[in-house]
Amino acid sequence: MTENPKTTANEKGIYTDFKNNMTYGEYLKLDQILSGQERLSDHHDEMLFIIIHQVSELWMKLILHETNAAIESIQSEDFQSSFKRLARVSKIQSQIIQAWDVLSTLTPAEYMEFRESLGQASGFQSYQYRKIEFALGYKTPHILKIYEKDPILHKELSDAFHSPGLYDVAIEALAKAGFSINVDLLNRDYSKPYEEDESVKEAWMAVYRNVDKHWDLYQLAEKLVDIEDWLQQWRFRHMKTVERIIGFKVGTGGSSGVNYLKKVLDQRFFPELWDLRTEL
């Protein structure tokens, strides 16, 4: 909306002299951010493609910032702080999902005009997305090979790969609350994918059957369900957007494209929290 010059003129306190003061653009480093959209083709719609993915990466950075803080809060039994952070993650996820609606305005004919310019670059290689998967407990060792080109990044990802995820610290919280949790889970190798465990299922069942007694754990469980729910919705919109634009072609990164994206929809992060809904 355009400002009324008369209204602006009446605001005597507005700062206009920034010779010695930091501006909005400087604070946000907009010169760096807005100079990062370099098209490799002359096609108009490549700008859309670049910006959608850059914005998604910024949102993912915030998801990681909040999720890692939530993990620390749960470990220190500061549940209220973790609830705030996890609720924010869910809101961020809704923003990323909506980005697919914008990208889906790109037609197959338009995308083919610049697809070759991407080479083997693909969203499959997003290291922030991998960090999110690691934080949620989904870990596959072959993924790390993609990042060997950058030793610093590779170490960063390797550290995240071997660290406890959100569900690991939630299970530890169950144990701290007095629930009988399989001791092997509490001392497990965090680089291995989590496998369903009966002791965890029984503990969550007890939480859901005694909500008033275990309110914090119940709240935590529902926040985890929110996050997995939104992530799966993001994955579904991703898959349908890809199908809409390139059909069943192989992805630029070498994956099977839509077929691969359909497979990952079957991945589960917090299995017991979904299974108990049938048995309650």
Domains of the chain: 43-115+125-278 (1.20.58.480)
What is the average pLDDT across 32-50? 95
Tens digits of residue pLDDT in 232-273: 999 999 999 989 988 888 767 777 778 888 888 888 999 999
Structure token digits, residue 274:
């979904």
3-state secondary structure of 130: helix
Q: Which residues are annotated as a binding site?
A: 49-53, 111, 115, 238, 252
Quick one: pLDDT band at residue 123, thresholds 50, 70, 90?
Answer: confident
Q: Which residues are annotated as a binding site for substrate?
A: 49-53, 111, 115, 252
In this predicted structure, the answer to whether residue 12 has a pLDDT above a threshold of 90 is no
What is the average pLDDT across 68-81? 97
Tens digits of residue pLDDT in 172-216: 999 999 999 999 999 999 999 899 999 999 999 999 999 999 999
* Residue 158: closest CA among 131, 136, 120: 131
* Residue 161: closest CA among 185, 125, 189: 189
Nearest-angstrom CA–CA distance, 198 and 56:
37
The alpha carbon torsion through 124, 121, 99, 104 (nearest 10 deg) reads -110
The number of beta carbons lying within 10 Å of the beta carbon of residue 61 is 13
* Residue 171: closest CA among 269, 66, 63, 268: 269
In this predicted structure, the answer to whether residue 1 has a pLDDT above a threshold of 60 is no
What percent of the chain stands above pLDDT 90? 77
Quick one: pLDDT band at residue 100, thresholds 50, 70, 90?
Answer: very high
The pTM (predicted TM-score) of the whole model is 0.90
Tens digits of residue pLDDT in 204-220: 999 999 999 999 999 99
Q: Which residues are annotated as a binding site for heme?
A: 238
Instruction: Give me the pLDDT at residue 43, please.
Output: 94
Q: For the ranges 48-57, 141-150, 155-164, which has the lowest average pLDDT?
A: 141-150
**Cα angle 119-64-120, degrees, rounded to a multiple of 5:** 5
Chain centroid offset of residue 49 CA: 19
* Residue 73: closest CA among 141, 173, 187, 157: 173
Nearest-angstrom CA–CA distance, 227 and 231:
6
Residue with the bigger pLDDT between 152 and 15: it is 152
**Cα angle 209-210-216, degrees, rounded to a multiple of 5:** 120
